[in-house]
Structure 1
Amino acid sequence: MTTPGSSPDDYWRRPGPGADGPPPDQTGPAPQQPAPAGGYAGPPPTTPPPSGWRPPLHVQPPPPRRLPPQDMAELDLAEQRAQRLTWAVGAVAGVLLLVLMCLLCSRLVL
């Protein structure tokens, strides 16, 4: 915002001790009107709970459920099959890259 004056900071300076409102060239909010007699009277009063009241406490949760038994031999077989598949996919990808590199290098030589 630009204001005519001696310094661009005049807009942000505090008014002098004798000034009780904004300068006449600036407009501010309208003065507050007193609230009507039938207006909002505030929140209703709260009533405290009885003296010994506490929320319910559940100290002991139910015991955990039993997990189904695991077949360790079957898990080992599944892990070995997955490892063989991973090695096979890696070998196929390696062979394809080697063949592709050989083809590209042979084209550069010829």
Structure 2
Amino acid sequence: MTKFQQEEIKIEKLLTDANIKCEITGGPGDKGIDIKGMKKGVKFIIECKNWRTKNIEGVLSQQSNGTIGIVTAPSMNRYTPGAKETARTLLPTEVYPS
């Protein structure tokens, strides 16, 4: 199991423990969506990343209107400059420690 698969499982567990229905969709062909779910009728997608390979805006634009996009990373200390810039440009941004 890779570091990123472990991170996806950790995030899914945090959400399900908070009674938020979600599922891991990451892997080959995931189109940038690692976890998807719904809470109170609001759809959300999560992209777990540690480097900038694709902006979530492109992934989010393919979703239904009203979908929330969330970017996560395993550690603030290990962000690459591109990932830090992505986090700065996405508003609003919430960061939860690992």
TM-score by length of 1: 0.17
Q: Return the structure number with greater helix share.
A: 1
Tell me: higher relative CO, structure 1 or 2? Use CA pairs within 8 A at least 6 residues apart. Answer: 2
